[in-house]
Chains A and B, each alone.
Chain A
Amino acid sequence: MSRLPIFSLAWRSIANRRGTALLTILTVAIAMTLFLGVEKVRHGARASFENTISGTDLIVGARSSPVNLLLYAIFHIGDATNNITWETYQQVANAPGVAWTVPISLGDSHAGFRVVGTDNRYFEHYRYAGQSQLEFASGRPLEDMFETVIGASAARELGYSLGEEIVVAHGTGSVSFVEHDSNPFTVVGILEPTGTPVDRSVFVSLEAIEAIHLEGPTGGGTSLSEDELRAMDLSPDQITAFLVGLDSPVAALRLQRQINTYRVEPLQAIIPGVALSQLWSVVGVAERTLAAVAAFVVLMGLICILTAILTSLNERRREMAILRALGARPRHIFVLLVSESALLALAGAIIGTGLTYGLLNLGAPVLEQRYGVHLSDTLPGLYDLALIGIVTGASALLGFIPAWAAFRNSLADGMTIRT
């Protein structure tokens, strides 16, 4: 028997019912777009989460829980339970094997954006997404007392440019009752977007933090002039946390143990990667739920195909009888319906994938520019091909149901044509 035109017949048959077929394909395409979209956002979120901080070997703060320290020191969520003394910080900073440290002092905010008291080593040593360094979109690092460098989102959302004068508020809420308004800060630098909490930060010097709190933590600030302030020793008594970089990362575990067992005050040191994955295991539940929902949407798309084909079967008994009379075997009828089911799913999956990547490519520049979220793969990859294959295969499998029904019909009908 010659090669059978079953696939082309299946295709012509679908084309003949193009109204229903298009709707069915559209359903699958939308389901596929949703699924892939959720997958992309999932991976993007995870990657940008994991990329929040790198190049830092230890984060040190007062003893609480690793996730808590990570949240307040890096993600600027929640508050520190306690501070650590400047002396302790100096001890660790001067310990053998420590290459650099970056102090962080938190507790103030500006218009809902966290104020980070630190020094220029922050811009030098902070790394995200592997080896990416903080870059200045405009301006320069901190040089004088009441100067500030702001993150990309803060600058964009507040509409600030270089030279803007801003007032820092006590506390970390978006509504503040106490403002350190005697000592406005001048914006001298704006950072490039990074897709990390850095974008939402306002950086000032540790000395400035100390200065605005000289006359009590909740006052309006200090009335002393800048020259008077400069003459004073404004080394802080305490800071919130600090980042540690080591000469050799191998030493991290040993130093971590030493810090965790430090007798003078209760400290804890965390390894960023370990804490990040602990945190992700909490956040990941939502992520997996989302993925499960998306998978069910795809399943619904496939059931749509099944419904459409089963509904069409009765009106197609004639078609099957004609094919049988022309020499089609029952298994050809079977293949006809299975391939129809697979073709619909394949078309839907391909369109859905195209749609997803079309949207991603349209949206990628905006995401990159505004949020610093870098979507690495904007072309379909092996994963997407495999997914198209799985959806098509699953649909073909579901196609066995109508195929079996048609197979039995065609045996029962024989040469009789039913209308």
Chain B
Amino acid sequence: MSAAPAISITDARFSYARKGPVVLDIPEFYVSAGERVFLKGASGSGKSTLLGLIAGIMKPDSGRIEVLGEPVSELSGGKRDAWRAERLGVIFQMFNLLPYLPAGANVMLPARFSARRNAACAQAGGAEAEARRLMTRLQLDPKRYWSSPPTELSVGQQQRVAAARALIGSPGLVLADEPTSALDADARDAFLSLLIEECAASGAALLFVSHDGTLASRFDRAIDLSELNRAGVRA
């Protein structure tokens, strides 16, 4: 793993409209390589915006954002897209999967979008072998679920497929946006354990965003977004 920090933000400001209210104003935010960080934020506190900035889908108005040693805020749109495909794993709140691809194909998708991740898989015996391995690790028997359409999976199973997809091809950082909010307590704990375990195994840093503070104890570090963000929280 590179020694570069997973995330390093300095003086980043962002507003959706040119003269609109500033949604995010973060003087400093830092996540070390391989660190697992819990970010607590109420809905509307700007956490999706922060994730969008880190993932390079949006650009800050000012300030500098470096992710995995790459100055994301300086890159062009196309370069950010390519970089995201190669280095990031993303898990959404729910309905993570492309409805028209079976579970296995969903997991393999990042390897098809990125040469680098495909190459990383090749060391482990190819994208399909790696996808099957990750599914097994996340307790989804690939023999049974490889060809299942997402509609036939439970929400918990869908989230585990999403986690496997985020982890394939050894990304340096996994962003998780409330991935457990649709799960019941048991499924949530099981999912969290598997996710943290797998991130640790692959050496990926994990930024886990949730409004549910009870999960914080499972992480290396917990931060409240309202302490981080100087911009007024939107109603």
Contact = CB atoms under 8 A, between A and B. Distances in A.
A56 B100 CA distance: 67
Contacts of A15: 100
Interface stretch (B66-74, B89-97, B185-193): B89-97
A415 B55 contact: yes
Interface stretch (B29-37, B76-84, B217-225): B76-84
Interface stretch (B106-114, B133-141, B152-160, B227-235): B106-114
A322 interface: yes
B86 interface: yes
Residue among A321, A323, A416 facing the most chain B CB atoms (10 A cut-off) = A416
Nearest to B100: A16
Contacts of B21: none
Interface string B95-107: 1111111000000
Nearest to A316: B99
A120 B18 CA distance: 94
Contacts of B82: 1, 327, 329
Contacts of B52: 414-416
A402 interface: no
A88 interface: no
Interface string B40-80: 00000000110110010110000000000000000001100
Contacts, number: 82
Contacts of B130: none
Contacts of B81: 324, 327-330
Contacts of A376: none
B115 interface: yes
Contact of A1 (B51, B58, B90, B115): B115
Nearest to A329: B81
Nearest to B165: A326
A5 interface: yes
B115 A16 contact: no
A137 interface: no
A215 to B, nearest CB: 87
Given A327-B110, A414-B48, A415-B177, 6 more contacts: A2-B113, A12-B98, A12-B100, A325-B92, A326-B165, A415-B51
B173 to A, nearest CB: 13
A222 interface: no
Contacts of B110: 326-327
Interface string A330-347: 100000000000000000
